[in-house]
Chain A
């Protein structure tokens, strides 16, 4: 064993630079793998554990005080699986406020901080409880939105302006995510009374419940809506639609970004591992070639093939082991940074300690594949006859074909010599091509992610939201809706306006979000991906996720239920949506009225000729119809505010992918060039002696790699350009996305690819500078 270790030690000392390069590869793999796993599994678990730690409600229903009934509490208490129910008075209202770069509307619950509650009571992450009448504690997400303790927090409710001083940031599960736009604010007892005096019409009751199994939260919510609203048809329950929150849905949106990021990281780490394995294979093969005489000598003095095989395997596993340990350690060090970035979307202060299970998985997973590849590649040592090894393995050399014979082939001498070398090392070239293709694909995918999800994110927003107007108005009564719609349509700036409202219905015991629209022909998003939108009252579109789950297809019929009534529909198209886990349907208004005759839409989607005028329209409608409006949302502004958050995250993802790609290519080049220079030292010396200049030789070496890099980059670029869209759909299919139009930015891609080639060539020249040191004299006297 000591002998083996001394061979390993000697080999490691001999090739320090290459060992370090390999170590970096393994380190990056382990880092990304551990981060990906921690995000994918650790973050999901963290949400659940944190939710339990706060005793967070699994359902929160909001009712206007005038329609609140103790019977509703009783209904919930008697609901199977419900473990705890509590309720409290709240002031619930829609208000505009500043967040990040723009103004945003959101739904606010003002609650009394002096009251105690069993579920997710006021828990400060930072600051102190409110003391003065105008003090407020906001959910932690507002900190990511640019607020600090001591800042003013201003909300505009119609004509009323509410100004508070921030004293603390709270830990919220249901009411703390930017995607849900529903926030709970804590004020003092005096502050609560003061606000109630100013806004008595917003006096509401917040009912919260916890269940044995939070997974039932969606069903309970829908049953409550059916029970309290549709069965009674009492006006005043609209808020139940817009503001009730359930745990499963909140978890889904609050872990969305971590899911996407972790997926990217895990895929990326798998690709880097693949690259590392190829490099390890290359290095072992070269080590065998370079150490051929040593192997022969060691075998001649009595070392067995098995001993030498294990020495090689041990050498590479030792490098991998160190790389993995450092990589995992670095991933934990980076976790707070990742957590900070994610915090913008998740609003959760994710503090992840060492996870022995996941890190052990990453550790042994990578070590195992390194071991297998090392062992499989190094097996050649066992078969090598000592005499053949002592003769530099000459019997294994094969120059069967002379590529580009110089007496016949036209072209610049350096290029021809480079091409000859490249063709003689086809294996290496194929390996470089594969590596460069893989990393270029990742780089192009990174650019596409940034371009589609960060820079020009409207397509992505359409995928997330289904249909995005310039402005959306929700009114209190159907009568108001008709009146306001007439006014909106008269506005010269308005391009089109139609009713469109999400209504939660049931089909085969599954809660489904039904997009209920006046005319789907007016839609601009990419919701429909097969068939056609419903035009008649008996037609319906179902989402791909729902169709897959219930084995539905175009031409089948499906039964929709709401408030105890139901009707059958003919499926005429397939739609996609990420909302409600991808379970959606779409019917015309008349269609939904076949299920719920009393249904009349109260939400309007408005599109303007010039989006510059959106704010003015929203302002005018808000002022004119203040009392009738439930909400008036400038969607353009909201998009800017919300998507800027995605932009930041995806910009980071793209930068990481591009930097790692460049790093991988450069490391591979470094490793290859070092090896080639070492192995062709003699040839380079001969050429120097014959009169080749250093620049000519540098060019030959650099050009030797360029075709493989160029081809790899081109292939990766083309694959990235063609494959990103299908890959995006495949990866996001479980989110409900079945079809997407995510074009790869052509100019950006071409520039990135050319840059990669140029950088690679320049870097190769830089490494080739080493040959300045090999003098012809040194060669002949060595």
Chain B
């Protein structure tokens, strides 16, 4: 039996620009299941990223409720949400967003020390994770500007995982990488999921979407379709065909 990690109830998000209101998310009722690799797809401007950041507590909804493990997060203050994020969420961004005035290790430590008091414990876990993602000691001592995009994004994955978050949010994690680097990052996310990590990923890339166990299609702020692919064990033809068919149905 699957349990929900995130539940939304009539989730709405409206932006107001120059007096013009834009309803990006409209009365969304959604459940994100624990241990799932949920992929959110949709056309540009469909509200994918807005949904991701609302679910992760990075932004507050205009209306509606978001419940995380039965805890209502939609009414939390900015600082309460910060504490929520540090304890429960990991983030991987398209633009990587490492602090460029800190070494890769410091980027990870700064995140880890927000939750743990054990400097040694955090450092040791960071080294272990760096090792897992294929970054050497020399690499993690470097500053982001001294790393390639792929190395930096792998470092960002380590930062996202350092606090063993309940859920990992990834917003177009391969968007700024070449295909080889992108695949390496996707492998990391897949491995994390296979180890039992819940993942929510926004993408418009089919190759990335194939890694998901569940695909949600967003159109004009509404979930208009869902496709269950099951746990990823390789991009076989059946999986590809199922996804293509689903996306075709969605008008992709």
Residues of A within 8 A of B (CB): 394, 397, 399, 402, 405-408, 410, 413, 417, 420-421, 424, 680, 682-683, 685-695, 772, 775-777, 779-781
With A and B bound together, what is the CA distance between A40 and B95 in angstroms? 61
Smallest beta-carbon distance A683→chain B, Å: 5
> Which residues of B are in contact with A by a Cβ distance under 8 Å?
49, 53, 58-59, 78-79, 82-87, 89, 91, 93, 95, 97-103, 105-106, 109-111, 113-115, 119, 122-123, 126, 141, 143, 145-146, 159, 171
When distances are taken between beta carbons in the complex, the residues of chain B under 8 Å from A695 are 79
The answer to whether A691 touches B145, judged by C-beta atoms less than 8 angstroms apart, is no
Q: How many A-B residue pairs have CB under 8 A?
A: 106
A432 to chain B, nearest CB (A): 18
Other-chain residue from B78, B89, B97 in contact with A772 (beta carbon distance below 8 A): B78
Q: Which of A424, A688, A780 is most buried by chain B, counting CB atoms within 10 A of its CB?
A: A780
Residues A413 and B113 in contact, CB atoms below 8 Å apart: yes
- Are B102 and A420 touching (Cβ within 8 A)? yes
- Least distance between A776 CB and chain B CB atoms (Å): 5
Known contacts A406-B113, A780-B171; 19 further A-B pairs (Cβ under 8 A):
A397-B100, A399-B101, A399-B145, A399-B146, A402-B141, A406-B119, A407-B105, A407-B119, A420-B102, A680-B101, A686-B97, A688-B82, A690-B159, A691-B87, A691-B115, A772-B78, A776-B58, A779-B97, A780-B95
Q: Please indicate the chain B residues that have their CB under 8 angstroms from the CB of A413 in the complex.
A: 110, 113-114
Q: Give the shortest distance, in Å, between B99 (CB) and chain A (any CB).
A: 5
Chain A residue numbers with a CB within 8 Å of B113 are: 406, 413
A683 touching B99, Cβ below 8 Å: yes
Q: Closest CB-CB distance, B85 to chain A, in whole Å?
A: 4
Report the Cα distance A399→B59, complex, angstroms. 33
- A775 and B145 form a contact (CB under 8 A): no
A320 to B100, CA, bound (A): 35
Chain B nearest CB, measured from A376 CB (Å): 27
> How far is A772 from B78 in the complex, measured between Cα atoms in Å?
9
* A237: min CB distance to chain B, Å: 83
Contacting residue for A689 out of B85, B102, B103, CB 8 A = B85
**Considering the chains assembled together, what is the distance between the CA atoms of A737 and B252 in angstroms?**
91
Q: Is the interface of A mostly helix, strand, loop or mixed?
A: helix
B50 to chain A minimum Cβ distance, whole angstroms, is: 8
**A682–B171 alpha-carbon span in the complex (Å):** 17
Complex Cα distance A779/B97, Å? 10
Q: Which residue of A lies closest to B86 (CB)?
A: A691
- Among A402, A680, A689, A694, the one with the most B-chain Cβ atoms within 10 Å of its Cβ is A689
Quick one: which of A405, A424, A691, A776 contacts B101, CB cutoff 8 A? A424
Question: Are B91 and A690 interface neighbours, CB within 8 A?
Answer: yes
B115 to chain A: which residues have CB within 8 Å? 691
Chain B nearest CB from A157 CB (Å) reads: 79
CA–CA, A164 and B160, complex, Å = 92
Question: CB < 8 Å: which of A394, A687, A688 contacts B145?
Answer: A394
| Cβ of B159 to closest chain A Cβ, rounded Å | 8
* Contact call A691/B85, Cβ cutoff below 8 A: yes
| Contacting residues, chain A, for B100 (C-beta < 8 A) | 397, 399, 683
Question: Judging by beta carbons under 8 Å apart, are B58 and A689 in contact?
Answer: yes
| Partner among B58, B83, B87, B98 whose Cβ is within 8 Å of the Cβ of A777 | B58
Inter-chain CA distance A402–B110, complex, in Å, is: 14
When distances are taken between beta carbons in the complex, the residues of chain B under 8 Å from A685 are 97
Q: Considering the complex, give the chain A residue whose CB is closest to the CB of B49.
A: A781
Q: Shortest CB–CB separation between residue A134 and chain B, in angstroms? A: 79
Question: Is there an interface contact between B78 and A775, defined as CB atoms closer than 8 Å?
Answer: yes
Among A397, A405, A694, A779, point to the contact of B79 (Cβ < 8 A). A694
Cβ B145 vs Cβ A692 within 8 A: no
With A689-B85, A690-B91: A405-B78 Cβ-Cβ less than 8 Å: no
A780: nearest residue on chain B (CB-CB)?
A: B93
Which residues of chain A are within 8 angstroms of B89 by Cβ–Cβ distance?
691
Separation in Å of the B184 CB from the closest CB of chain A?
22
- Please name all residues of chain A whose beta carbon is closer than 8 Å to the beta carbon of B79 when the two chains form the complex: 693-695
Closest CB in chain A relative to B175 CB, distance in Å:
12
Q: With a CB–CB cut-off of 8 A, which chain A residues contact B58?
A: 689, 775-777, 780
| Interchain CA distance A444-B53 in the complex, whole Å | 53
Measured CB to CB, the nearest residue on chain A to B99 is: A683
B83 touches A691 (CB 8 A): yes
Residues of chain A with a CB closer than 8 A to B99's CB = 683, 686-687
- Counting chain A CB atoms within 10 Å of each CB, which of B53, B86, B102 scores highest? B102
Once bound together, how far apart are the Cα atoms of A397 and B143, in whole Å?
A: 11
A390 to chain B, nearest CB (A): 15
What's the minimum C-beta distance from A399 to chain B, rounded to whole angstroms? 4
Q: Which residues does chain B contribute within 8 Å of A407, judged by CB atoms?
A: 105-106, 109, 119, 122-123, 126
Shortest Cβ distance from B82 into chain A, in angstroms? 5
Q: Cβ of B53 and Cβ of A780 under 8 Å apart?
A: yes
Q: Is the CB of B82 within 8 A of A692?
A: yes
Per the bound structure, the CA–CA distance linking A107 and B178 in Å amounts to: 97
Residues from chain B with Cβ under 8 Å of A397 in the complex: 100, 145
Contact B49–A420 (Cβ < 8 Å)? no
The distance from the CB of A679 to the nearest CB of chain B, in whole angstroms, is 10
Closest residue on chain B to residue A395 by CB atoms? B145
Q: Which residues of A lie under 8 Å from residue B53 when comparing CB positions?
A: 776-777, 780-781
Contacts of B103 in A (CB 8 A): 399, 402, 405
Could you tell me if A692 and B114 are in contact, using CB atoms closer than 8 angstroms? yes
CB pair A694 B78 closer than 8 Å: yes
CA distance A686 to B85 in the complex (A): 12
Bound CA span A680–B98, Å: 12
What would 10 A/B residue contacts be, using CB atoms closer than 8 Å? A397-B145, A402-B141, A406-B106, A408-B123, A413-B110, A689-B97, A690-B86, A694-B78, A695-B79, A776-B58
Taken together as a complex, chains A and B put the C-alpha atoms of A394 and B59 apart, in Å, by 32
- Tell me, rounded to whole Å, the shortest Cβ–Cβ distance linking A775 to chain B: 7
- Interface centre among B83, B93, B119, B159, by most A CB within 10 Å? B119
- Contact check, A410 vs B119: say whether CB atoms are below 8 A apart: yes
Q: In the complex, how many angstroms separate the beta carbon of A226 from the nearest chain B beta carbon?
A: 80
Q: Which 10 A-B pairs have the closest CB atoms?
A: A691-B86, A406-B109, A407-B123, A777-B59, A399-B143, A693-B79, A691-B85, A686-B97, A693-B82, A402-B103
Chain A residue with the shortest CB-CB distance to B85: A691
Least Cβ–Cβ distance between A125 and chain B, in angstroms: 65
Report Cα–Cα, A777/B171, bound state, in Å: 12
Q: Tell me the bound Cα distance from A420 to B109 in angstroms.
A: 13
Known contacts A683-B99, A776-B58; A691 and B114 CB within 8 A of each other: yes
Q: Give the nearest-CB partner of A413 in chain B.
A: B113
Q: Chain A: which residue is nearest B89 at the CB level?
A: A691
Chain B proximity of A770: nearest CB distance (Å): 14
CB distance from B124 to the nearest CB of A (A): 9
**In the complex, what distance in Å separates the CA atom of A407 from the CA atom of B59?**
31
Closest to A781 in B: B49
Tell me how far the C-beta of B202 lies from the nearest C-beta in chain A, rounded to whole angstroms: 11
CA distance A420 to B82 in the complex (A): 22
Chain A residue at minimum C-beta to C-beta distance from B120: A407
Q: Which B residues are CB-close (under 8 A) to A772?
A: 78
**Nearest A residue (CB) for B97:** A686
Question: CB-CB < 8 A to A686: which residues of B?
Answer: 97-99
CB distance from A773 to the nearest CB of B (A): 10
Chain B proximity of A192: nearest CB distance (Å): 85
Inside 8 A of B119's CB, which chain A residues have their CB?
406-407, 410
Residues of B within 8 A of A394 (CB): 145
Q: Tell me whether A682 and B102 are in contact in the complex, defined as CB-CB below 8 angstroms, given that A410-B119, A694-B79, A777-B53 are known contacts.
A: no
Residue of B nearest to A409 (CB): B119
